């Protein structure tokens, strides 16, 4: 009885402490805490961080939009979306952005907690995946800011589309955990980072998901100077992608200066992937993948210029147009290719959406360049082996690349490097 009384008194003291601090978000039991977030921002003195208290799970039952500059959020507790699917769908349908958390403005900092039990954003995606429910799913976290910082954030069971940096400029993201591992239905579209912006660094990430862990798209003004490094990627992820580019032929792609390095991928469908649409236009240049380790990966190095989204094929397009690729480097790939059980759980059609004519689980690289569309490529230090023990192979359109020395023999057959 005394212990129960002490617990009640402690809880009351916590609420009183929160209420007395204008910068601390007040948690209100089972009710929606979203209004309290806005209240804390409006009452907190300028320059002070907004605090989500440790050992507290806040109910973010309605989407939050932050159109604020000079904003700092410190998420020491946890944030939870509704567990009710229809409640989430109603929030998405009422939202102008489609995001559950959406940030704009300048000089925006969001930090989580170094405590492994704090700093979580939980979306309860498992029930969506098990029901194969893809209606009115939220984009979880949009960070379209200038001069931003995200650190120590953890995302558990994002329903779909975890972090979008689309439109961001000069943003640093560090020490992020995204966990979309499913115990049942496949977690479709659980992208990790959409890094379609400029001057972005993403480092020290752990990502388990069912779509691209990292992807650079073209946006309205293009994407440039983006680094993704020091990451572990697992579950049934689709790896690190450039694209898709060129979906709308009237909007040329403009992607440049992309670095992906020091990434290890395990049990994923792809590792390094480029995808542009049939009939796309524009340019992608100065892209480097280096120090890429793989374990049980189906397509370690993959390039297609004939991509089509089966669910959204778009308008008819001119087949002889391509997004041009210039100065692509693939350096130091190592590990084993998924020979015995290639693919992943996202295959729901026959043939599968990722079906590749001629692929048999031994390909170190698949290069599907269109004529005249690829130039100045370098592949070096490619040490990938099929799990069956046979020599690695390659599928390579001939001639795919206009390069003085691509570093390999472009052929449909054994993978052969031409330079040490």
Catalytic residues: 211, 238
Strands, DSSP E only, in 162-251? 163-164, 169-179, 193-194, 198-209, 214-216, 223-235, 240-245
Measured between alpha carbons, how far is residue 224 from residues 84, 164, 208, 357 in Å?
39, 15, 26, 33
Alpha helices in 30-149 (DSSP H): 34-43, 85-94, 126-130
Distance CA 145, CA 165 (A): 8
Q: Which residue has the tokens 């796309």?
A: 280
Distance CA 370, CA 388 (A): 31
- 228 contacts 259 by C-beta, under 8 angstroms: yes
Distance CA 378, CA 74 (A): 44
CA atoms within 13 A on the CB side of 316: 0
Sign of the Cα pseudo-torsion (373, 275, 380, 214, in order): positive
DSSP states along 406-419: -SB--SSEE--BS-
Distance CA 265, CA 210 (A): 13
Nearest to 103 by CA among 124, 122, 75: 75
SS3 category, 94: helix
DSSP states along 9-56: HHHHHHHHHHHH-TTBPPP-TTS--HHHHHHHHHHSPTTPPEEEPTT-
Nearest to 190 by CA among 167, 213, 215: 213
Distance CA 189, CA 177 (A): 17
């Amino acid at each position: 009885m005394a212990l129960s009384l002490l617990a009640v008194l402690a809880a009351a003291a916590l609420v009183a402490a929160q209420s007395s601090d204008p910068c601390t978000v007040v948690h209100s039991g089972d009710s929606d805490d979203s209004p309290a977030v806005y209240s804390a921002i409006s009452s907190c003195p300028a320059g002070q961080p907004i605090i989500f208290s440790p050992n507290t799970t806040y109910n973010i039952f309605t989407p939050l939009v932050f159109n604020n500059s000079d904003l700092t959020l410190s998420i020491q507790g946890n944030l939870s979306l509704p567990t009710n699917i229809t409640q989430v769908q109603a929030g998405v349908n009422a939202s102008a952005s489609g995001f559950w958390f959406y940030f704009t403005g300048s000089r925006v900092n969001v930090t989580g907690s170094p405590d492994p039990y704090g700093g979580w954003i939980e979306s309860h995606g498992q029930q969506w995946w098990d029901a194969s429910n893809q209606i009115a799913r939220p984009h979880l976290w949009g960070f379209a800011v200038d001069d931003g910082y995200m650190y120590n954030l953890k995302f558990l069971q994002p329903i779909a589309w975890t972090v979008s940096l689309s439109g961001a400029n000069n943003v640093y993201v560090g020490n992020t955990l995204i966990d979309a591992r499913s115990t049942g239905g496949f977690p479709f579209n659980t992208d990790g980072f959409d890094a379609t912006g400029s001057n972005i660094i993403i480092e020290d990430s752990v990502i388990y998901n069912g779509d691209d862990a990292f992807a650079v798209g073209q946006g309205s003004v293009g994407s440039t100077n983006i680094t993704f490094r020091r990451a572990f990627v697992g579950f049934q992820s689709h790896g690190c992608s450039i694209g898709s580019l060129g979906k709308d032929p009237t909007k040329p792609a403009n992607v440049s200066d992309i670095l992906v390095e020091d990434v290890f991928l395990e049990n994923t469908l792809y590792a390094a992937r480029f995808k542009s649409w049939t009939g796309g236009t524009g340019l992608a240049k100065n892209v480097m993948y280096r120090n890429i380790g793989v374990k049980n990966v189906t397509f370690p190095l993959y390039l297609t210029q004939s991509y089509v989204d089966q669910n959204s094929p778009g308008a008819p397009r001119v087949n002889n147009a391509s997004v041009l690729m210039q100065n692509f480097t693939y350096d130091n790939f190592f590990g084993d290719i998924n020979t015995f059980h290639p693919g992943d759980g996202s295959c729901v059609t026959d043939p599968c959406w990722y079906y590749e004519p001629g692929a048999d689980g031994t390909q170190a690289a698949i290069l599907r360049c269109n004529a005249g569309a690829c130039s100045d490529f370098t592949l070096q230090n490619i040490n990938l082996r099929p799990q069956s023990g046979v020599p690695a192979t390659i599928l390579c359109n001939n001639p795919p690349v206009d390069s003085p020395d691509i570093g390999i023999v472009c052929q449909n057959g054994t993978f052969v490097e031409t330079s040490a």
